[in-house]
Structure 1
Amino acid sequence: MKLPVSLCDQELELRNVTLRAGDKLKVKGKIPEDAERFQIDLGCDSSDLALHFNPRFHDEDDGKVIVCNSLCEGCWGYEQRDAYNPFHRGSNVTVTVKVTEEGFEVELPEGHEIRFPDRRGLETLTYVRVKGHFKFTSFKIC
């Protein structure tokens, strides 16, 4: 059985960008009422990610969680799961990802922050993707 594709599925993919320690990525948008998940990926390309940031709103095993991971040559690393997920369906949100020497600091709604280490050791990130159940209103690299 083929599942219907939600109208809220969106994808923004940027190649040949330059992100280094000290840079920030700021994404603003709305989480649709029927959202299941969205993701923000930073790395070299879609099969080589230093950060895979993935808020989930319904997962059969875990419920509402945020999963962070890295992807090296198509192989996933160990998942870092945070049970505190301040994202809510139907809400407008801002997510800011700071690139640091040690990794990433992701600023979430309600003042919460997630830190994820740079497992890849990349000095420059050249790939950004925001995908899933998220309606963009603003995207900025600074």
Structure 2
Amino acid sequence: MVFTIKDMSFKAGMEMKVSGKVKSECEGFSINIGHDTNAIALHFNPRFNENVIVCNSNSGSWGDEHREHCFPFQKGNEFKLIITFNNDTFYIKLPEGTMMSFPNRFGDDTFKHIHVVGDVKIESLKVK
């Protein structure tokens, strides 16, 4: 586990900027945004063994996966992401500028929980 923030204020229209470095032995990592570890609205999961980004949600059970085959992450390299959302959709600006989206299946406009796991070092996380 990398870290958990349990009482943040990430509201619709705000930006979450995440800067980090992928560890050289990385097989994958995930950034989970939601209400707690059992109510995840956005599970953002780059998987190096498949060269794919998997997004999903969990409100007691996992939903249908969304797979993004644009894979701008490299082991040992730094990255920057920008995540925004509204009641309908999460928008993720990937390294190198590619945009991807994932439905906000919860329909909520505020999330207070972020949980990061895997072979990654988060250097900065800013919400504004």
TM-score (norm 2): 0.94
Query: Which residue identity lines up with residue 57 of structure 2 in the other structure?
Result: S
The correspondence of residues 1-142 of structure 1 with structure 2, limited to 5 A, is 10-58=1-49, 63-73=50-60, 75-142=61-128
Residue in structure 2 matched with residue 3 of structure 1 by the alignment: none
TM-score (norm 1): 0.85
Cα distance in 2, alignment partners of residues 103 and 68 from structure 1: 12
Report the 3-state secondary structure (helix = DSSP H, G, I; strand = E; otherwise coil) of the residue aligned with 2:81: strand
Report the 3-state secondary structure (helix = DSSP H, G, I; strand = E; otherwise coil) of the residue aligned with 1:110: helix
Query: Which residue identity lines up with residue 33 of structure 2 in the other structure?
Result: L
Cα distance in 2, alignment partners of residues 29 and 65 from structure 1: 18
Larger Rg: 1
Moved over 4 A (4+): none
Q: Which runs of 5+ in 1 are unaligned?
A: 1-9
Cα distance in 1, alignment partners of residues 122 and 7 from structure 2: 21
Query: Which residue identity lines up with residue 110 of structure 2 in the other structure?
Result: T
Question: In the alignment, is the contact (CA less than 8 A) between 2:2 and 2:121 conserved in 1?
Answer: no
Query: Which residue identity lines up with residue 102 of structure 1 in the other structure?
Result: D
Q: Which runs of 5+ in 2 are unaligned?
A: none
Cα distance in 2, alignment partners of residues 121 and 107 from structure 1: 20
Report the 3-state secondary structure (helix = DSSP H, G, I; strand = E; otherwise coil) of the residue aligned with 1:119: coil
Cα distance in 1, alignment partners of residues 55 and 120 from structure 2: 17
- Alignment length (residue pairs): 128
